[in-house]
């Protein structure tokens, strides 16, 4: 599909068809990434519990780099979708260029800062004395790979903003498959151990970056990126950060939350840290399906809001709520039926399996509401309502989760660690319902009276 066809589909195509066209490639792409994380855990798991726990401890670092990529990619992408809806292609080019080059610069600065105090960072993320040597060997190369990942995340979001979800699918699919092939080669065949997994990630991310560069410099991209468009522009940065800063906060809070989980779990040994890490990878499979679908929903919502087609926007919301909630119900049922068999794939240690099985069920208790949460947080960000979108985005892993994880383990021990996420999910769902009623009322008002306050 060429650029003009994608814009036409966002503007006037069948809503269900448009959501499928843009959402399915991103769902597949995100699933491939999540599946790699699961396979990566499987390969590293062969090195022992401490080595596997080390990868889980270092993983939150990547979320911070992803946050930088999302800040500029999602923030710039939301603005680009609205600009394309308003038929301002030239400004969309400037936004894309500023967003992409800025993300790389910040990523390099962040990497230098983390490498200068890597031991302290890993200890904060939950590394015990037995885990730290493995975590450090992995994290140093992993941080270098994350610089490249920052570019890829930003570029992927900029591509999606113009409806080009298929290029993100292709880039992520090729990179992830390559990563899965290289993992056992570097870890076992070349004898590099846990460091080999990080090297595999670096190589794969570099190939993904090359694919994105070829796309953005070719004729298939509706939005063009050029150094000539890159300049300090207060208005454009303001629009990018208006939406993007909440995505950065979300990723940082998620990273901190994972660190707090690991720290709390480390009080109960390496087996608890490994179990929590296994659950995180498994749960991410379901989360990434919804996240990928929302990447297809976002440009449609942003474009039609920018084009003032509110009836079409409301239809997209309704369809998205139906599909994501249906998936979340099915996913929850699968987890509860097959949980023990699933976690047994990652470890042979009975204690790790027992803890992970219990944690997986607990963490999936409130997953049926995840689609509802994410539709509205994405909607607010897509239409430029940064304050509401930011609050909803940060609620699950920050506003509610951090206080709960700091308090509950002191009252309930390991059970406090395990039940922190479902409690945070329940509170987030209640908050989302309040915001949802408000925005739906405003969209009803504009259809009736032609006004949209706030």
Whether residue 205 contacts residue 64, with contact meaning beta carbons closer than 8 Å, is answered with: no
Token pair recorded at residue 38: 């699961």
* 292-305 exposure pattern, b = at least 16 Cβ within 10 A, e = fewer: bbbbbbbbbbbbbb
For helices 234-266 and 270-306, give the axis angle rounded to 10 degrees: 160
Token pair recorded at residue 77: 């992408």
Whether residue 446 contacts residue 452, with contact meaning beta carbons closer than 8 Å, is answered with: yes
**How buried is 124 (Cβ within 10 angstroms: 0-12 exposed, 13-18 middle, 19+ buried)?**
middle
* Cα–Cα distance list, 338 to 45, 288, 335, 421 (Å): 20, 19, 5, 20
Alpha carbons 337 and 196: distance in angstroms, whole number? 35
Token pair recorded at residue 432: 């989302």
Whether residue 23 contacts residue 165, with contact meaning beta carbons closer than 8 Å, is answered with: yes
Query: DSSP of 319-354, one letter per residue?
Result: HHHHHHHHHHHHHHHHHHHHHHHHHTTT---HHHHH
Q: Which helix (H) or strand (E) holds 285?
A: helix 270-306
- The phi and psi torsions of 131 (rounded to 5 degrees) equal -85, -35
User: Tell me, what's the pLDDT at 453?
Assistant: 46
Question: What's the distance, Cα to Cα, between the start and end of the chain in Å?
Answer: 36
Q: Quote the DSSP letter at residue 87.
A: T
Tell the residue number behind the tokens 């969209």, with chain if given. 443
* Cα–Cα distance list, 251 to 69, 70, 74, 258, 444 (Å): 10, 9, 12, 10, 33
User: Tell me, what's the pLDDT at 89?
Assistant: 77
Alpha carbons 174 and 7: distance in angstroms, whole number? 26
Whether residue 314 contacts residue 436, with contact meaning beta carbons closer than 8 Å, is answered with: no
**How buried is 17 (Cβ within 10 angstroms: 0-12 exposed, 13-18 middle, 19+ buried)?**
exposed
pTM for the full predicted model: 0.71
Nearest CA among 2, 22, 1 for reference residue 303: 22
User: Tell me, what's the pLDDT at 334?
Assistant: 93
User: Tell me, what's the pLDDT at 454?
Assistant: 43
User: Tell me, what's the pLDDT at 184?
Assistant: 93
10-residue mean pLDDT profile of the chain (454 residues): values are: 63 76 75 73 80 84 87 85 78 89 94 94 86 91 93 86 75 87 93 92 93 83 78 87 78 82 84 86 86 83 82 89 94 93 84 90 92 92 81 86 91 89 94 92 72 47
* Cα–Cα distance list, 78 to 128, 135, 225, 347 (Å): 41, 36, 16, 41
Q: State the alpha helices, DSSP H only, in 162-233.
A: 165-184, 194-216
Token pair recorded at residue 127: 């590394």
Alpha carbons 84 and 65: distance in angstroms, whole number? 28
């Amino acid at each position: 599909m060429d650029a003009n066809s994608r814009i036409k589909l966002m503007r006037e195509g069948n809503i269900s068809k448009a959501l499928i066209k843009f959402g399915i490639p991103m769902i597949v792409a995100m699933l491939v990434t999540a599946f790699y994380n699961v396979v990566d855990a499987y390969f590293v798991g062969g090195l022992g519990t401490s080595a596997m726990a080390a990868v889980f401890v270092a993983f939150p670092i990547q979320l911070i780099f992803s946050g930088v990529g999302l800040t500029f990619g999602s923030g710039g992408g939301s603005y680009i979708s609205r600009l394309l809806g308003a038929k301002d292609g030239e400004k969309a080019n400037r936004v894309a260029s500023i967003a992409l080059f800025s993300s790389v610069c910040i990523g390099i600065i962040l990497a230098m800062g983390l490498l200068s105090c890597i031991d302290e960072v890993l200890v904060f993320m939950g590394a015990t004395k037995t885990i730290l040597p493995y975590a450090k060997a992995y994290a140093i190369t992993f941080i270098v790979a994350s610089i490249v990942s920052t570019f890829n995340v930003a570029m992927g979001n900029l591509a999606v903003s113009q409806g080009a979800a298929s290029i993100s699918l292709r880039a992520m699919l090729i990179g992830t498959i390559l990563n899965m092939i290289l993992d056992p080669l570097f870890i076992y065949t070349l004898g590099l151990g846990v460091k080999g997994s990080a090297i595999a990630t670096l190589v794969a991310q570099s190939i993904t970056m090359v694919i994105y560069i070829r796309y953005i410099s070719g004729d298939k991209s509706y939005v063009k990126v050029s150094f000539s468009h890159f300049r300090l522009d207060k208005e454009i940065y303001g629009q990018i950060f208006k939406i993007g800063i909440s995505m950065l906060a979300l990723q940082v809070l998620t990273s901190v939350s994972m660190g707090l989980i690991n720290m709390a779990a480390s009080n109960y040994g390496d087996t608890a840290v490994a179990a929590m890490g296994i659950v995180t990878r498994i749960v991410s499979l379901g989360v990434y399906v919804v996240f990928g679908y929302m990447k297809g929903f976002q440009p449609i919502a942003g474009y039609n809001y920018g084009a003032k087609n509110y009836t079409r926007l409301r239809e997209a919301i309704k369809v998205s709520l139906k599909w994501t909630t249906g998936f979340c119900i099915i996913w929850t049922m699968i987890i509860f039926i097959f949980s023990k068999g699933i976690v047994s794939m990652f470890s042979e240690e009975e204690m790790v399996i027992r803890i992970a099985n219990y944690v997986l069920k607990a963490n999936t208790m409130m997953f049926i509401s995840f689609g509802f949460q994410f539709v509205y947080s994405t909607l607010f960000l897509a239409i430029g309502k940064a304050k509401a979108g930011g609050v909803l985005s940060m609620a699950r892993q920050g506003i509610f989760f951090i206080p709960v994880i700091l308090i509950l383990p002191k009252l309930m021990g390991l059970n406090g660690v395990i039940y922190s996420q479902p409690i945070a999910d329940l509170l987030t769902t209640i908050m989302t319902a309040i915001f949802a009623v408000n925005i739906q009322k405003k969209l009803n008002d504009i259809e009736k009276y032609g006004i949209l306050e706030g």
